[in-house]
Homo-oligomer: A and B are copies of this chain.
């Protein structure tokens, strides 16, 4: 595992909540969007993405729904729940605090 991977630990759930904030998305779309919006910096491997989505649904942060547009293939769309929205807010604040504290220490050196 690269140091970059090591650093990103702990950010997965927040990233997923962020992406789902504005519109429902399906798994494959999430991974594409995440890479696109971060210029390739954030990549979620599928072996992490899907289990995480399932866990988050079990925890009530998101809901899922299969959709099958005519002629197209079926996709499982995830939507933020109210609890998920609250969590996103809290997690964003926690990340801000973390970054502030880390920045403080980084600067002293």
A binding-site residues for B, Cβ under 8 Å: 3-4, 6-11, 13, 15, 18, 21-22, 37-39, 41-42, 88, 90-92, 94-99, 101-106, 108-109
Contacts and interface: CB of A to CB of B under 8 A. Distances in A.
A98 B10 CA distance: 12
Assembly stoichiometry (copies) = 2
B98 A7 contact: yes
Contact of A95 (B41, B90, B106, B108): B106
A38 B101 contact: yes
A90 B10 contact: no
Nearest to A34: B105
A86 to B, nearest CB: 12
B105 A95 contact: no
The 7 closest A-B pairs by CB, nearest first: A9-B9, A9-B10, A41-B101, A6-B10, A7-B10, A18-B109, A7-B98
Given A38-B101, A38-B104, A109 B21 contact: yes
A45 B10 CA distance: 18
A18 B105 contact: yes
